Amino acid sequence: MTSIVELSELMKKYTQEFSDTVSRKDYDAAISLALMVLEKLVAIARNEVLGVIIDPTVRSLADNYISGYEKTLSYTKGVLEGLKYVSPLYAYGEKEQLVQLLASSVSELFSFIMGALIVVASLSPPTHEERFGVV
């Protein structure tokens, strides 16, 4: 299971790199970075959060929530593919919008996962490797 510390470090690194690329207006690099992180977060949400939810109703709600981010990934990849065939002036504005979409998606999914991992950690008995009950 991904630890809260690992997830926190991933987000610190992402936030710094993402901020740097956006400040340089290097939207291609920002989109690539955000896609990579969002894909990791979706995998964590699917494999580690959804996997521990027992209640079928809650599991279904969480599954629908995660599916929204999978659709965001597909949408972004589709737009990027389409932008290969349009004017660079038009593509720039679209990439700027994708950066905003991905930034909010990464932030939202990170918060969802972090909250879920904290709840899971609080319900699990601590082991020798888990200080203070934190996974």
The DSSP line for 71-116 is HHHHHHHHHHHHGGGS-HHHHHHHHHHHHHHHHHHHHHHHHHHHHH
Q: How many CB atoms are closer than 10 A to CB 112?
A: 17
pTM score of the predicted model: 0.88
- pLDDT of 121 reads 77
Q: How confident is the model at residue 2 (pLDDT cuts 50, 70, 90)?
A: confident
For 114-127, letters b (16+ CB in 10 Å) and e give: eebbeebbeeeeee
Ordered by start, the domain boundaries in the chain are 4-122+129-133
Q: How many CB atoms are closer than 10 A to CB 129?
A: 7
Tens of pLDDT, residue by residue over 33-73, are 999 999 999 999 999 999 889 999 999 999 999 999 999 99
Q: What percent of the chain has pLDDT over 90?
A: 79
Residue 132 predicted with pLDDT over 50:
no
Residue 125 predicted with pLDDT over 80:
no
Contact 134, 114 (CB under 8 A): no
Residue 134 predicted with pLDDT over 70:
no
SS3 128: coil
